Amino acid sequence: MYKDKKIGIVIPSFNEERFIATVIKGIPDYIDRIYIVDDFSQDNTYDIALKIAESNPERIIVLRHEQNYGVGKAIVTGYKHCLKDNMDIAVVMAGDNQMDPAQLPKLLNPLYRDMVDYVAGDRTSKFGNMKNMSKWRGFGNWLLKWLTRIAAWNYSIRDPQNGYTAITREALLQLDLDRIYPRYGYCNDILVKLSVNRARIKYVQMPAVYGVEKSKINYLSYIPSLSVLLFKDFIWRIKCQIYQK
């Protein structure tokens, strides 16, 4: 437990055989459950995770999709298991070893103090945190930040592409998890839905970390497809606000 909160970490994974063992073994002891969700990897990710889980099968839970649904769907699978196992807080940490477990207290402390409902890492508000981020990726993040702000009508959103997040059980229960966007773009979709639910969202600064793993996101196709998603979210948000009046 972290202080008096039960913490579950969701690790969505797709073809991460080079990194998954390092990620799992780096999780701090205060984390109660680790949910590795293999999204139908074509390498040895699933087998490696299963082997590690043998040492502590009650703490390390390995799940596998029967087909590739997308990272958003993998996270939803993990979220549902966090709810089923009565975790107080659910954290998302990628399987590519680009999210530093030493940053976990930054995410957990605001939730522990009941200050907010959802906490995410912020790599973009402080220039020094972006030194490892390419100019192209930085521009894409800037553009998608503003599109997400408009879709959610929430101008406090800072780094919507950062998937290193933590959410309370109560906030999770207010989301229709089956309607979360299943692929890249899930984090933007969640921010819109949380904003409509008037959830308290906080960003904490942390540096961008990029190792030898190359991003699976093709920004030339990702930005247009996510723009369409955010336009749909924009329309959905307006309808929700009309009906709430």
Residue with tokens 């402080």: 126
Does residue 2 fall inside a structural domain? no
Backbone phi, psi, residue 90, to 5°:
-115, 125
Residue 74 is assigned to a structural domain of this protein: yes
The reported pLDDT for the residue numbered 129 is: 53
Residue 245 reports pLDDT greater than 70: no
Residue 11, domain member (yes or no): yes
Q: Specify the pTM.
A: 0.92
**Given this model, what pLDDT does residue 140 score?**
77
pLDDT of residue 195: 97
Confirm whether 1 is domain-assigned. Answer: no
Say if residue 212's pLDDT is above 70.
no
Range of the domain at 191: 7-244
Q: How many domains does the chain have?
A: 1
What residues contact residue 71 under an 8 Å CB cut-off, 6+ apart? 12, 14, 39, 163, 183, 184, 186
Residue carrying structure tokens 């040492």: 55
pLDDT over 70 percentage in the chain: 91
Confidence bin at 179 (pLDDT 50/70/90): very high
Q: Which tens digits make up the pLDDT trace of 114-156?
A: 789 999 999 887 665 555 666 767 787 889 999 999 999 999 9
pLDDT band at 113 (very low <50, low <70, confident <90, very high): confident
SS3 218: coil
Asked, for residue 98, whether it belongs to a domain, the answer is: yes
CA dist., res. 215 & res. 8, Å (int): 25
From the list 207, 107, 113, the residue with the least C-alpha distance to 165 is 107
pLDDT tens across 31-76, in order?
999 999 999 999 999 999 999 999 999 999 999 999 999 999 999 9
Alpha helices, DSSP H, located in the chain: 20-25, 45-53, 71-84, 104-112, 135-152, 169-173, 186-196, 219-244
Is the per-residue pLDDT at 100 higher than 70? yes
| Residue 94, domain member (yes or no) | yes
Asked whether residue 127 is assigned to any structural domain, the reply reads yes
Q: Is the dihedral of CA 53, 207, 108, 89 positive or negative?
A: negative
Residue 95 domain flag:
yes
Residue 225 belongs to domain with CATH number: 3.90.550.10
Q: In the beta sheet, which residues pair with residue 191?
A: none
The pLDDT confidence band at residue 29, using thresholds 50, 70 and 90, is very high
Residue 221 pLDDT exceeds 90: no
